[in-house]
Chain A
């Protein structure tokens, strides 16, 4: 059964930007890259799944169970982790406190920090530093680390590679693939970085003006060239 299933979802902010009848499914251990030009509704779709936006029609189901809009905290309890694009770090809390928000339990916190620091060593070295004084790129790594802390079943990532140095992007791709293999996490990855997205995910979906324009497997011959062509006009 799919971990995440959208059925003819419609949502948006007032009139301005709308997701129109999007249906898609992501299974355990599967990663779907959501691609598209700017302003095509990629971030809006993630916010719609999390229930931050009112839904006009359609359903969002997690493990076959239909989720209500307007209760993002319930989704987090169910095992959905969301790494938003903007302003997602508690600036005045320390690195450790930012991680503790995701996992209140002490033992699990220690284990989690050990695991995350293995991925991003700076996190282990600077647990007491105020998260707001981290650089922009380090904050992105902290956001990803926090999303992985609780061992989610579904991970929603919004442009996680933005502002990161190439070697860190490589590492993140590796981390995500490892998490998929070992923990069977389902992932929905919104990206501008097409190369990263295709390398990390096994399927892709192209969003155009709020609608699904194309779907396919990332290992298909010529997928990258076709997508870049489609995005590049």
Chain B
């Protein structure tokens, strides 16, 4: 995974170039004609694969962007005539129009909080609307019969084949490189766990929107070429059926492989061209049965099934990993200055319907403080953390981070104000390796590259310490899903520290860790507060642990602060003993202090 293209890819590339060169000399005319179309379809199929297979966005709408490119050519050449100038106008206009529509669709599909299903539904609606617009355009769009008879480039079919084949080759190579780049890894992370990305300061909506807009331009280019080659445009090119066929080709070929969808498209489209004439109805049936067969027997598609049969699967843990290096400190990236107060919470309340989880919670916390939140299960501790790190969560009250009012800001904007949050249950990227997860966490500070993958991940000292303490540095190439629960907890903590926050919210960071590991993490937290002047807010049930490391303790009970004071005050509070610890469980540390 380290190199952008491996040896098999280079071999395939050589074969593809050779085929492209000799194709026009050996293939019959009909095959050449069809192949021009198939190659352009395959380009669109790659964009479907990038969206669906890599970014996890199932889309039926890519046909419409293809159609916009095609209609741009058809409309311009029909109404303005054909010349070099109008050709450039049609190409640029088509791509621009396609990207503009994609931006609008992206905004509709990926607004914060939209579910993946919603994006798919929007992508279904798009081609239906596009087809209706073409239908109602009268003579201007040619309505249901489309536009034909316009002039276009007079080029030999063989040249067209070189053109479209060349475009397919370029798109394939670019896609293979892109999915192995830093940004490609980011897409996988968004697909795996969007919430975690959000809390790592990444604007996931914008990322998905940029991807959609960029790919829509590629589709429009393919559509433009298709219209200038065929000298005809029809509403079906932008339609729902073509959009669905693309999804089927990608699924049959093997989604998430780039090459699978290319072969799938070429094979099926070429097969259709030959067989649909002879077996007009049976062919569709054959295709349908093949689709069901592949879904049932080879759920990952043809290419992964074939490749899996002939090559030994290389285990991820034996693949060469990158390495960790020390990062240059970038404290307060994105902030002018650290605030006077780290955290200001004023009259915060939270209701779930009629259930009140937090009422009138107010407290301030300074930099350098290690503040523990304790309280019975269900007291509202995690809810309070959620309200502090996501402006949309609380029902009323104000919260400021580093003196900035968070208003209704989503988590990724709160991260810019200097906050980092570790979730209660370990929240990492199951499909990514440890190194990849850490790299994703550094995205906000170390800009990801679009066509290359960074060999090393820079970590600040605190994150590095956690990684070394828990032995994660020996597991860099291990997929997160096989880590133990405690290792996942440690990895998430390291990911949050990699953000270099100056306010740290930790929800049971040591749950699932052994005593010595806890002690070491406790030491790290104390150091972060004392030496790095971080404000650490900790939810923890182990009162011994709390007493050892905290500089202040807040006790939450039934959504209200019942005590806010020093460790000694809390330890000697009968209230805490009654509601929380139980008579038998007075902490050892407390007992020693009293003695």
**Chain A contacts to B: CB under 8 angstroms:** 13-17, 37-40, 42-43, 85-87, 122, 129, 133-138, 140-141, 159, 162-170, 192, 194, 228, 231-233
Residues of B within 8 A of A39 (CB): 471, 483-484, 486-487
The answer to the question of B395 belonging to the interface, with a C-beta cut-off of 8 Å to chain A, is no
**Contacts A/B (CB < 8 Å), 26 sampled:** A14-B315, A14-B482, A15-B317, A16-B479, A17-B482, A38-B484, A38-B517, A40-B484, A122-B378, A133-B352, A135-B382, A136-B382, A140-B377, A163-B377, A163-B508, A165-B377, A165-B580, A166-B541, A169-B585, A170-B584, A170-B585, A231-B514, A231-B515, A232-B514, A232-B515, A232-B516
The answer on a CB contact under 8 Å between B382 and A167 is: no
Interface string of B478-490 (1 = CB under 8 A from A): 1101111111000
Which residue of A has the minimal Cβ distance to B478?
Answer: A16
Residues of B within 8 A of A129 (CB): 355
Q: Can you name 16 extra interface pairs (CB under 8 A) apart from A169-B585, A228-B515, A232-B516?
A: A14-B482, A15-B315, A38-B514, A86-B485, A122-B378, A136-B424, A137-B541, A162-B508, A163-B377, A163-B424, A165-B377, A166-B581, A166-B585, A170-B584, A231-B515, A231-B516
The answer to the question of B305 belonging to the interface, with a C-beta cut-off of 8 Å to chain A, is no
Using A138-B377, A232-B515, A232-B516 as known contacts, say yes or no to A165 and B541 having CB atoms under 8 A apart. Answer: yes
A-B pairs, top 5 by smallest CB distance, nearest first, are A137-B377, A167-B582, A38-B486, A166-B585, A39-B484
The answer to the question of B70 belonging to the interface, with a C-beta cut-off of 8 Å to chain A, is no
**Chain B contacts to A: CB under 8 angstroms:** 315, 317-318, 352, 355, 375-383, 424-426, 470-471, 478-479, 481-487, 507-508, 511-517, 541, 543, 580-582, 584-585
The answer on a CB contact under 8 Å between A168 and B377 is: yes
The smallest beta-carbon distance between A71 and chain B, in angstroms, is 20
The answer on a CB contact under 8 Å between B378 and A162 is: no
Q: Which of B424, B481, B512 has the most CB atoms of chain A within a 10 A radius of its CB? A: B512
Residues of B within 8 A of A38 (CB): 470, 484-487, 512-514, 517
The answer on a CB contact under 8 Å between B484 and A138 is: no
The answer on a CB contact under 8 Å between A136 and B582 is: no
Which residue of B has the minimal Cβ distance to A166?
Answer: B585
The answer on a CB contact under 8 Å between B508 and A136 is: yes
Residues of B within 8 A of A37 (CB): 514
CA gap between A188 and B584 in the complex, in Å = 25
The smallest beta-carbon distance between A19 and chain B, in angstroms, is 13
Residues of B within 8 A of A162 (CB): 508, 511-512
The smallest beta-carbon distance between B540 and chain A, in angstroms, is 9
CA gap between A85 and B378 in the complex, in Å = 19
Q: Which of B377, B379, B380, B478 has the most CB atoms of chain A within a 10 A radius of its CB? A: B377
The smallest beta-carbon distance between A218 and chain B, in angstroms, is 18
The answer on a CB contact under 8 Å between A87 and B543 is: no
CA gap between A14 and B470 in the complex, in Å = 22
The smallest beta-carbon distance between A227 and chain B, in angstroms, is 11
The smallest beta-carbon distance between A88 and chain B, in angstroms, is 10
Residues of A within 8 A of B512 (CB): 38, 85, 159, 162, 192
CA gap between A137 and B515 in the complex, in Å = 20
CA gap between A136 and B511 in the complex, in Å = 12
The answer on a CB contact under 8 Å between A87 and B487 is: no
The smallest beta-carbon distance between B359 and chain A, in angstroms, is 16
The smallest beta-carbon distance between B352 and chain A, in angstroms, is 6
The answer on a CB contact under 8 Å between B486 and A166 is: no
Which residue of B has the minimal Cβ distance to A129?
Answer: B355
The answer on a CB contact under 8 Å between A138 and B378 is: yes
The smallest beta-carbon distance between A190 and chain B, in angstroms, is 10
CA gap between A233 and B514 in the complex, in Å = 10
CA gap between A87 and B512 in the complex, in Å = 14
The answer on a CB contact under 8 Å between B377 and A164 is: yes
CA gap between A231 and B581 in the complex, in Å = 26
Q: Which of A13, A159, A162, A169 has the most CB atoms of chain B within a 10 A radius of its CB? A: A162
The smallest beta-carbon distance between B277 and chain A, in angstroms, is 47
Residues of B within 8 A of A159 (CB): 485, 512
Residues of A within 8 A of B352 (CB): 133
